[in-house]
Amino acid sequence: MIEIKVYTAHGLITCRHRHNETLLQTLQRHEIHLPAPCGGLGKCGKCAVRVSDEEAAGPRSPDEDRYAPAGSGLRLACRAVPQSPLTVTLTERVKTAADDSAAKGGAIDLPVVGFPMVRSVELMLEPSSLTDQRSVHRRLIDELDDPDTTVSLSAVRDAGRLMEDLSEPSDAAGLMISGPSGDRLVAVEEGVRDVLPALAIDIGTTTIAAYLVDLSSRRVLAVRSEENNQGRFGADVISRIAATAQGQDLTAVIRLQLSKMIELCAESARIATDGVLAATVVGNPTMIHLLFGLDPDPIGRAPFMPLSTEQLEIDMVALGLPAHPEATIVAAPGLSAYVGPDIIADILASRMNETGHLSLLIDIGTNGEMVLGDSRGLIACSTAAGPAFEGANIRCGSGGIAGAIDEVLRDGDALVLGTIGDESPKSICGTGLIDLVALLLEDGIVDETGRMDLAAARESPAYKDRVTERDGEDVLVVTTPGEPEEVVLTQGDLRQVQLAKGAIAAGVRTLLEEAGVGAHDITTVYLAGGFGTYVRPESALRVGLIPSLPVERVTAIGNAAGAGAARLLIDRASIEEANRIVAMSRYIELSRSETFQHFFIDEMIFP
């Protein structure tokens, strides 16, 4: 495998080239999307890149003569098939949704309309005189001419410095931060800032994603995705709550981790951390409680009354996060102890609340949350789906890390495995697990009760060499039998999948029953979250994770929680929309629902 270093506007990204693929394909696999309107046929020249070595980028095609002639230092990415390590510089600013492989699933779309949370305003500074002795502060207030806008002392200080010895009227740029309590002028500068960096943060129980967004160009400057360091206190929110009750300071853990992530994002985007001007954050209620220093304890026990489900706003520095001293962090509102700001952000991103067609949104993370509805109203529930799809309690399970099997197909008698980062397989993540189970169901190796049929497997050419025993337990070897690093599936793993799948499917059926509609009434199923984005809809349908519907009605919407958080940054009015979504939503508590219990038992069976 050849390493290709790519300098983008947002820093260096290292890509791994697969044998015989074009440079364009390599970059696309690493989510660096070069324009290729001609479809990669060497006709348009839009995918031209600067290369460190024209030779190393492989034999020239005559198609390149027009846009990337020999000796120009350029090559067309769609024609170049690298032969040796290479450094590539993008000739245009290209959207890079991710800057490290861990951010897989982190791509977000940014809305293009709306007034962002931070913006520049034009100001006219006039020299002081004996006939106009208004203070600098008063001049700024008069200039802004909006009773809902406040002027911070730092802006007054800035303007005072700019007005020293001013002899004639002069233009200046004001930096305005919008909070839910109004706009605040926080700085006055000579020129308009090129970039207005702000952060959209999605704190998952397992994974944290931070998007550094430029609110001026509406571009993603950097993405950072990390496993949540709270993981050492347990995989699910209940363990985290218990650890907190035992005196562990999980608030300090998340604040420290976020601080470091912000520093890394800023470094990668080559900005100073005090240039970070605003942040929005979403996450499940426990994660939000911990970040804001609220005791999550009541979330862990009936009647599940969280301290807050409200929109929260506080100075970033008050949470110990590196940022501009006047930067505010806004947490989106949530609905209940288990349907949090992350799900409201999912809805914001899907816009399912804006259409008259019935939609179902499923966000499967460490918990599984489901929302059903349309512009007339939404109902939501949450199931303790368990973190099976994030690898917990699965013998060789893992999250979406490099080397995790994320794709399982059968080609004749061979199993074809895809892995994250195309590394040699070390574990299996949720999407791989669903693919595998779907395949085993289809091939009759697992029956509808979830039992592994060893006899059938031993008779099948595709599986016979894969059935064996490990630590006294029958297992199916997923990796090529005989390889030293082995990934296996156990009967226990299948039970975990059944429990998780059963909980989600039962939650969906409970919502349908509450709404008085059938699965066939659903126009669109939105799958959100990293798992939702990468799970193969066919497999999800085959195992019964989602209602039996034509596959074209299923849409993966990526990290919708992160996209919703970014929408809050880019379109400040959407915080009102978030509150409207809460107001139009009804929460169904499944723990006391007999309907749910009934469906749960029923849905444990595979279709």
Residue in 73, 114, 234, 298 binding a copy of itself, rule: CB under 8 A? 298
- Residue 186's SS3 state is strand
Site for a copy of itself in 101-130 (CB under 8 A): 128-130
Output 14 or 135, the one with its CB closest to a copy of itself.
135
Going across the sheet that includes 368-374, the strands are 554-556, 524-528, 359-364, 368-374, 377-383, 585-587
Q: Is 279 in the site for a copy of itself (CB under 8 A)?
A: no
Q: Is 306 in the site for a copy of itself (CB under 8 A)?
A: yes
* CA pair distance 462, 439, nearest whole angstrom: 11
Site for a copy of itself in 69-88 (CB under 8 A): none
CB 551 within 8 A of CB 537: yes
| Helix ranges, 537-573 (H) | 537-543, 560-570
Output 3 or 313, the one with its CB closest to a copy of itself.
313
Q: Is 295 in the site for a copy of itself (CB under 8 A)?
A: yes
* CA pair distance 607, 504, nearest whole angstrom: 14
Kindly state the smallest distance separating residue 130's Cβ from a copy of itself, in Å.
5
CB 394 within 8 A of CB 428: yes
Q: Is 153 in the site for a copy of itself (CB under 8 A)?
A: yes
> How many angstroms separate the most distant Cα atoms in the chain?
100
Whether a cis peptide bond, with omega within 30° of 0, leads into 303 is yes
* CA pair distance 44, 66, nearest whole angstrom: 9
Kindly state the smallest distance separating residue 174's Cβ from a copy of itself, in Å.
16
Kindly state the smallest distance separating residue 117's Cβ from a copy of itself, in Å.
19
* CA pair distance 373, 381, nearest whole angstrom: 12
Output 109 or 297, the one with its CB closest to a copy of itself.
297
Stretch that binds a copy of itself, among 58-66, 157-165, 499-507, 568-576 (CB under 8 A): 157-165
- Residue 44's SS3 state is coil
Kindly state the smallest distance separating residue 564's Cβ from a copy of itself, in Å.
20
Residue in 63, 267, 310, 453 binding a copy of itself, rule: CB under 8 A? 310
Q: Is 138 in the site for a copy of itself (CB under 8 A)?
A: yes
Output 52 or 579, the one with its CB closest to a copy of itself.
579
Q: Is 233 in the site for a copy of itself (CB under 8 A)?
A: no
Q: Which helix (H) or strand (E) holds 174?
A: strand 170-179
Output 309 or 498, the one with its CB closest to a copy of itself.
309
Output 305 or 455, the one with its CB closest to a copy of itself.
305
Q: Which stretches of 284-428 are assigned E, i.e. beta strand?
A: 312-315, 328-331, 359-364, 368-374, 377-383, 404-411, 414-419, 427-428
Q: Which helix (H) or strand (E) holds 460?
A: none
- Residue 98's SS3 state is coil
Binding mask 575-594 for a copy of itself (x = CB under 8 A): ------------x-x--x--
Site for a copy of itself in 335-354 (CB under 8 A): 336-337
Q: Is 167 in the site for a copy of itself (CB under 8 A)?
A: no
Q: Integer distance in angstroms from the first to the last C-alpha of the chain?
A: 41
- Residue 532's SS3 state is helix
CB 321 within 8 A of CB 237: no
Stretch that binds a copy of itself, among 26-34, 134-142, 388-396, 511-519 (CB under 8 A): 134-142
Residue in 50, 157, 193, 260 binding a copy of itself, rule: CB under 8 A? 157
Q: Kindly tell me the burial class for residue 37, based on how many C-beta atoms sit within 10 Å of its own C-beta (0-12, 13-18, 19 or more).
A: exposed
Kindly state the smallest distance separating residue 7's Cβ from a copy of itself, in Å.
42
Alpha-carbon dihedral sign for residues 33, 36, 40, 45: negative
Q: Is 218 in the site for a copy of itself (CB under 8 A)?
A: no
Binding mask 175-214 for a copy of itself (x = CB under 8 A): ------x---------------------------------
Output 45 or 160, the one with its CB closest to a copy of itself.
160
Output 134 or 357, the one with its CB closest to a copy of itself.
134
Q: Is 134 in the site for a copy of itself (CB under 8 A)?
A: yes
- Residue 525's SS3 state is strand
Kindly state the smallest distance separating residue 72's Cβ from a copy of itself, in Å.
54
**Binding interface with a copy of itself (CB under 8 A):** 128-130, 133-138, 141, 150-151, 153, 156-157, 160-161, 163-164, 181, 292-295, 298, 302-310, 312, 314, 336-337, 587, 589, 592
